[in-house]
Amino acid sequence: MGYEICLFCSENIKIETRPFDVYYIDCPRCGKYHVTTDTYEDIRDSIAKNLKERQRANISGWLYENQGYLIRTDNINMSFFSTIEPPVFHTH
Ligand SMILES: [Zn+2]
């Protein structure tokens, strides 16, 4: 258990490792979401660097609406980012 920065919104998060190689993340903005450890590293080391601010905001909002979502390798590439709805607010 330790503290890190949220992959998506950069808030300080509480992170806890549970069995089956899953991180349980508690973010003040995104709420609770789960990420398998290898997917977490993928996101942190590559995917997150390519996300635009708007995508980050969308993902953060989406996770907030879908508490306890488990992000895995098999859902992150194919559907996770592509199914995130456009923002309901305007950014420039
Ligand atoms: Zn967050």
CA 29 to centroid of ligand 1, rounded, Å = 5
CA 51 to centroid of ligand 1, rounded, Å = 14
Q: 58: pLDDT confidence band, cut at 50, 70 and 90?
A: confident
Residues whose CB falls within 8 Å of the CB of residue 23, separated by 6 or more in sequence, listed in order: 15, 16, 17, 34, 35, 36, 37, 40
Q: What is the pLDDT of residue 63?
A: 93
Q: Model pTM?
A: 0.78
Higher-confidence residue: 24 or 73? 24
User: Which residues crowd ion ligand 1, with CB under 5 Å?
Assistant: 6, 8-9, 11, 27, 29-30
Q: 8: pLDDT confidence band, cut at 50, 70 and 90?
A: very high
